Amino acid sequence: MIQTGSRLFDFSLENQYGETITSTGLSNGRVLVVFYPWAFSRVCGSELATLQEHHEFFAQRQVRVIGISVDHKFTLRNYAESLGLDFELLADFWPHGAVAQQADAFDSERGVATRLSIYVVDGQVRDVFRSEMTQPRKIEDYQAAVERSL
């Protein structure tokens, strides 16, 4: 289970372009890791669209936003393009949900990631927050996590 103060666990996933992204590569700087259940679902789409609408907030504070779901990279590429996302989506496709499981962000009954956000600064977890499957996380929660660690 991921906790504030811990190090980001090891993982390696492909983004929507087939590029490998590793936790080691995310260990320098500020990173917001956003687990979400499904591409093309109403709640996930609105939540990721809200993050995109506030892209400038994150860019000005040098925060890299990364979304992770159990969808395939080809699905994620289409999804990112349909939403006009300027951030990466990582495919926790196979082994199915392995990274979400490491973060205690996997619903084994549904086979999807849960709504968990992890804010990481230089490889150390600074904030962790969740919401219910049917509820998007609030943009104010993301902004507060970033502002607390500047």
Residue 109 sits at the vertex; the CA angle it makes with 6 and 130, to the nearest 5 degrees, is 35
Distance CA 66, CA 43 (A): 17
Distance CA 133, CA 56 (A): 27
CA dihedral 125, 100, 62, 39 (to 10 degrees): -150
Six token digits for residue 62: 């040098």
Distance CA 70, CA 13 (A): 11
44 annotated active-site: yes
Kindly name the residue from 8, 26, 31, 44 that is annotated as catalytic.
44
Residues noted as catalytic: 44
